[in-house]
Structure 1
Amino acid sequence: MPTRATLVLMIKRPKLHQGKQRLAGEIGANSALVIAKSLLSCAVEDAANWPGKVVIAIAHQIDVVWATRSLKNILPAAQVIYQGEGNLGERINRVDEELRSTGHQSLVFIGTDSPMLNDNFYQHLPVKLAKSAVLLAKAEDGGVVMMASNAPWPDFSHLPWSSESLARALALCCQHECLSVTYHDSNYDIDQLVDLTRLKHDLLADERPARQRLLSQVFSCLHQLKLNHEEKVMHDVVKDYYGKVLQTSDDLQTNACCTDSQLPNETKRILANIHDEVLTKYYGCGLVSPELLANCHILDLGCGAGRDCYALAQLVGEQGSVIGVDMTEEQLSVARKYIDYHKEKFAYQKANTRFELGYIEKLDELALSDNSIDVIVSNCVINLSPDKEAVLAQAYRLLKPGGEIYFSDVYADRRIPEHLQADSLLYGECLSGALYQQDFQTLAQKVGFSEQRVVTSRAISINNPEIIARVAGINFTSVTYRLFKVAELEPHAEYYGQQVIYLGGINGHTDVFSLDGETHFLTDKITAVSGNTWRTLKASRFNQYFSFVGDFTQHLGGFVIDKCHDVAAKKAPDEVSCCSTDTATVATVSKSCC
């Protein structure tokens, strides 16, 4: 039924870090902005169903154009005006005066914070307003969710607009001017987290489209808060375990955090240059380090006290750089303490290491540019992150095209039950945070790492009877992976008849170079490769050490790893491989030993 009352929608355009400050403090500014936009949509939905005239009153003059273009698509007949300067009371008085001067007699003011105002509320509103000069709908926190009047509002400039006594003060102010006051159905505003929890329940049966969209946003927000809480709990567990519980590697209860303990002499020499306190605070063994690092820019995820960073700093040289990221302040304080010590130890003019406090799944919060890193390394740390997908996605973003993440981590032969994931000892020991290996491969492909190359793999031994009992038969494996950021890699190895020749020259790989545990190249021999391997070698820092034969013109089926690849690395240079031929004989090479 038409009404002579005009609905005035008091709007403040939702913007990041503006408005909903209390809610933003509880759920984060971005989530609060999403909720604010959905609340606005609900108010606009109500205005679209109002049986009378509608006025959109905008809080900031700069947003009048936005309101005219955006909101009038939904409310084409609505009038858009600017609220003016001053506090909320002064702005309401100004809007009231302007509208009454142009013929509006009954004005109904609502905001955008009360999405549970329903059809019944709006249907009975004109009837009640016709029987009184002023109609107020109280908010449960002492404010109001609606205020309507058949007469000009009295001066509201002095009222306590952000207090629990607002409704009472409004009524007294109106009564002081001899305006009769009647109350409409009360409701509640959305100002804090507890309101969202209540709103989630109340919206379930509300079929209005904007309310259903709001419900979806509320569910998403509350779910993310739950994840954030769980993430914080896990972060605190790891910080406490590695910052306070562990003192040396001997305190670890398993060998999950250890790489191969048989260190090459060159690695031993490099580690000998690192300060004793840094070495003492290292909770693992071995060194996760790929080949050909001179002049590279490296990022170490979960650097701890910096042992690997200072080792890698020697391998990249003074023109390279190493950035270590860790969330444990106690560890980083040790790493930073010896920056100048190692600069002098390595005889560098300037330090080539720096250490950042942060979370490896939130690298976007640090001063790191996209496509800026040649190599990312990590030594048994990613399993400690509550969001492995985010870690891999951030790594992909930061790597230069052709760059790689080369890391050792722990994997399980099945998905870890939730009750074990919550076990702080198992989590700190790098066990209960381990991914099921197939799930890891799925995540890697999802973020862009189409091919996952296994460099080494070994079973993890657990000697602690208590831990053996807790994990209940789950088997764990330590795997070193290398994932390259290369465009156009296929999800499976395909064969196009391509070949490469390893030219030698990579330090420590005079006779043979192994890209992974199955892909080996004898020096000066032609080797058949998959399209993915061909593309990876060509796009990466290994390019100059190979000669490439072939293209992608003809697909010959799936690529099968040669059985003799496993022995290729063991052959003497003058032995002939059934997978290879002398470079002098340029002929088609079979991809099978048969």
Structure 2
Amino acid sequence: MSTQEKNETIIRDTVRTGYAAIAIGAESPCCCSGRSGPSDPARLAAAMGYDANDLANLPDGANMGLSCGNPVAIAALTEGQVVLDLGSGGGFDAFQAGEKVKMAGRVIGVDMTAEMLGIARKNIGQYRERTGLDNVEFRLGEIEHLPVADSTVDVVLSNCVINLSPDKPQVWQEIHRVLKRGGKLSVSDLAILKPLPEKVREMAAALVGCVGGAVLVDDTRAMLEKAGFTSIMLTPKPGYVQQMQDWNDPLYKEIAEALPEGEKLENYVVSLSIEARKNV
């Protein structure tokens, strides 16, 4: 195994362990989390633009406060579409997508953490009871190697997950592979506006908290173009990071304190809405 392969394995294991801890209710400085301080999952969802009506039928516990945006909203889902949710966790976005595509559509959630997958699959029963729909499933897999056939998906969603991958170009290529011609991606992720100081990049908490693995906005565009995407729209939203600091989230406080004197975290990190299409 090469040094790069070893490093990628370490990163995946770190992320998997962090999310497993959240799934079982243990403390973890994990991705995009508003789980501490005065914030909570419901408050974070509201801050990210989720409508209360869209959350009404969610299974209990599906919202774990792991969002950094609202990919469901920017996707403008319609009845009958096939949707893929990367890093689906407890099913927060997947179940909302299921209500929008209705019985004629289908939603597939993919997550590499067995503990998260167990929660999501357990939540399916309550989702069926509350909505009358049976159109959501969850599969175990890594987003670099999706357990989904070629050209079968209309829309790919992801919320604060791709930045955790040690091989982002491979993720974008996999998304392109599974999308139908004319299909689109709708992603909320963390990105950086300028390179982070070495001290911050090396912080384990920053890695598992999405920040250490985030890349420059321009690099995201370049990777999308190389993967074959067109109609690329990247919309930075710096307000997310400011909200997390205002709520005294310990992860974001720790990262902010590691920055050079006079620098602010929002000068480096933004929530990024990513939209693009696969050529017709």
Q: What TM-score bracket applies, with the shorter chain setting the length?
A: 0.7 to 0.9
User: 1:316 is matched with which residue: 101, 104, 128?
Assistant: 101
Could you say if the C-alpha distance between residues 392 and 308 of structure 1 is closer, same or farther in structure 2, counting changes exceeding 3 Å?
same
**CA offsets 1:450-493 (integer angstroms, 9 cap, x no match):** 34213563342263543213244461111111011125xxxxxx
* 1:428–1:465 Cα change, 3 Å: same
Decide whether the 8 Å contact of 2:153 with 2:180 is kept in 1.
yes
Choose from 139, 150, 163 the match for 1:356. Answer: 139
CA distance in 2, matches of 1:420, 1:253: 25
User: Among 164, 175, 197, which residue is 1:395 paired with?
Assistant: 175
2:269 partner letter: F
Asked if the contact 1:301–1:324 (Cα under 8 Å) also holds between the matched residues in 2, the reply is yes
Task: Give distance in 2, aligned partners of 1:347 and 1:293.
Answer: 18
Is the contact between residue 253 and residue 429 of structure 1 (CA under 8 Å) also seen in structure 2? Answer: no
Alignment match, 1:379: 159
Q: Deviations over 1:503-527 (max 9, x none)?
A: xxxxxxxxxxxxxxxxxxxxxxxxx
Q: Show the counterpart of 2:270.
A: 477
> Taking structure 1 as the reference length, what is the TM-score of the superposition?
0.40
Q: Calculate percent identity across the aligned residue pairs.
A: 30
SS at match of 1:338: helix
Q: Deviations over 1:526-584 (max 9, x none)?
A: xxxxxxxxxxxxxxxxxxxxxxxxxxxxxxxxxxxxxxxxxxxxxxxxxxxxxxxxxxx
Residue 55 of structure 2 is aligned to residue 271 of structure 1: yes
- Contact persistence 2:229–2:277 (CA under 8 A): yes
- For normalisation by structure 2, the TM-score amounts to 0.82
Q: Given residue 314 of structure 1, which amino acid in structure 2 is its aligned partner?
A: E
Equivalent in 27, 39, 47 of residue 261 of structure 1: 47
> CA shift at 1:284, angstroms?
2.8
Whether contact under 8 Å (2:89, 2:111) holds in the other structure is yes
Counterpart for residue 466 of structure 1: 254
Structure 1 residue 321: Cα displacement = 0.7
Structure 2 unmatched ranges of 5 or more: 22-26, 246-251
Q: CA separation in 1, counterparts of 2:105 and 2:271?
A: 29
Q: What one-letter code is carried by the residue in structure 1 that aligns with 2:208? A: G
Judged with a 3 Å threshold, the aligned counterparts in structure 2 of structure 1 residues 438 and 254 are, in CA distance, closer, same or farther, namely farther
Q: Which of 1 and 2 has higher RCO (CA within 8 Å, sep 6+)?
A: 2
Contact 1:282 1:307 in 2 (8 A): no
1:233 partner SS:
helix
**Which amino acid in the other structure matches residue 340 of structure 1?**
G
Contact 1:259/1:288 (CA < 8 Å) preserved in 2?
no
Task: Report the CA distance between 1:259 and its aligned residue.
Answer: 7.0
Residue 458 and residue 416 in structure 1: after superposition, are their counterparts in 2 closer, same or farther (change >3 A)?
A: closer
Residues 302, 325 of structure 1: 8 Å contact kept: yes
The alpha-carbon distance between structure 1 residues 254 and 339, as it changes in their structure 2 partners (threshold 3 A), is closer
How far apart, CA to CA, are the structure 2 residues paired with 1:417 and 1:408? 24
CA change 1:353–1:333 in 2 (3 A) is: same
Summarize the Cα distance change of 1:286–1:475 in structure 2 as closer, same or farther, 3 Å threshold: closer
After superposition, give the CA deviation of every residue in 1:52-100 in whole Å (9 maximum; x if it has no partner).
Answer: xxxxxxxxxxxxxxxxxxxxxxxxxxxxxxxxxxxxxxxxxxxxxxxxx
Give 1 or 2: higher helix fraction. 2
CA contact (8 A) 2:190 2:272 kept: yes
When residues 252 and 386 of structure 1 are mapped into structure 2, their CA distance, relative to the original with a 3 A threshold, is farther
Could you tell me whether the CA contact under 8 Å between 1:252 and 1:429 is conserved in 2? Answer: no
CA distance in 1 between partners of 2:169 and 2:195 (Å):
15
Q: Which amino acid aligns with 1:467?
A: I
Q: Deviations over 1:402-436 (max 9, x none)?
A: 11110111111223456543321001221111101
1:81-160 paired onto structure 2 within 5 Å: none
Q: Which has the larger radius of gyration?
A: 1
Q: CA deviation at 1:240?
A: 2.1
Deviations 1:344-388 (A, max 9, x none): 32113xx2111111111111xx2x111100000011111011111
Q: Offset of 1:238 from its aligned partner?
A: 1.2
1:347 aligned to 2:132? yes
Q: What is the identity, as a one-letter code, of the residue corresponding to 1:283?
A: L
Task: Read off the aligned partner of 1:326 and give its amino acid letter.
Answer: D
Distance verdict in 2 for CA 1:262–1:399, change over 3 Å: closer
Counterparts in 2 of 1:442 and 1:259: CA distance versus 1, 3 Å? farther
In structure 1, the residue matched to 2:87 is 302
Q: Which moved more, 1:286-295 or 1:385-394?
A: 286-295
Count of aligned positions: 254
The residue type paired with residue 269 of structure 1 is N
Q: Which residue of 1 aligns with 2:24?
A: none
* From 438, 450, 468, the counterpart of 2:218: 438
Match of 1:336 among 106, 121, 125: 121
